[in-house]
Amino acid sequence: MRIAFIGLGNMGLPMAVNLLAAGHQVLGYDLAEAALEAFAAAGGQRAASARQALEGAQAVITMLPASRHVEALYLGDEGVLAAVPAGTLLVDCSTIAPAVARKVAAAAAESGHFMLDAPVSGGTGGAKAGTLTFMVGGETATFERGRPLLEAMGKNIFHAGDCGSGQTVKVCNNMLLGILMAGTSEALRLGIANGMDPNVLSDVMLRSSGRNWTLEVYNPCPGVMAQAPASHGYADGFGVDLMLKDLGLAQESALATGTPTPLGALARNLYDLHSKAGHGRLDFSSIYNLLASQA
């Protein structure tokens, strides 16, 4: 297929490269010149603008930072819905507010397009390896139409329900992830303060009731896992500001539905403090360092 891929950041770039590897023709666009150069170096076709990337596209995939970017790209006068013909498959992999996903999907349906909200989990490692988990909202027929593209980028593809459902699942998942990362960091800091080797402590917890994803593949303590961002200065990965955004979306949803999420609120406040201290671009596992400064 001829695919327009807009948003070639830490996640979008390797996802687009995996589509190339699957044999698709991918036209990519990003505001950052470095991202465009990296995409071209991987064999992709760079576009001079989002509008140019959309020309002749049979499917559009987007990976953008926040709700406002998705609304502007899809609903603007020169946006996706105005640029591509009716019947085009649209897949937004950004993590945004479920209400915004439903709004954009409704506008897409009105103009004769087929849309999925398909946020991802698995981090930059999963994006590079093509093992991402997709949480997909949309009509069943549209989901099946989009499945081959998602399978080129991921390993676990879940149809969560109607439009917006994928975003709801993602917001719940990332709220839990933020809580787990903060809790794991606290436990490690406590053990180290009492003379424990973080490698031993991590190994024991990994095989005990405290086991969780952060201990399995994303340990926040430097030197424990060679492949984790913590062992590389917390560079790249999933940024603090992105986690803060997702935790904010969770709190918005909690307020809208009257659902108590005290741990989610606390995690959001911790990441807010960390971001305001100037660490917003670091990987979210760097919350480990915030707990050190508080000690």
The catalytic residues are 170
Residue matched to tokens 């969770």: 250
* 148-175 b/e (C-beta count within 10 Å ≥ 16 → b): ebbebbbeebbbbbebbbbbbbbbebbb
Task: Look at strands 120-121 and 132-137 and give their pairing.
Answer: antiparallel
**3-class SS string, 199-248:** HHHHHHHHCCCCCCHHHHHCCCCCCCCCCCHHHHCCCCCCEHHHHHHHHH
Measured CA to CA in angstroms, residue 100 lies from 72, 103, 128, 144 at distances of 11, 5, 28, 23
H-helix segments, 163-197: 165-193
Given a contact cutoff of 8 angstroms between Cβ atoms, the answer to whether 223 and 198 are in contact is: yes
Distances (CA, A) of 18 to 70, 101, 192: 22, 25, 40
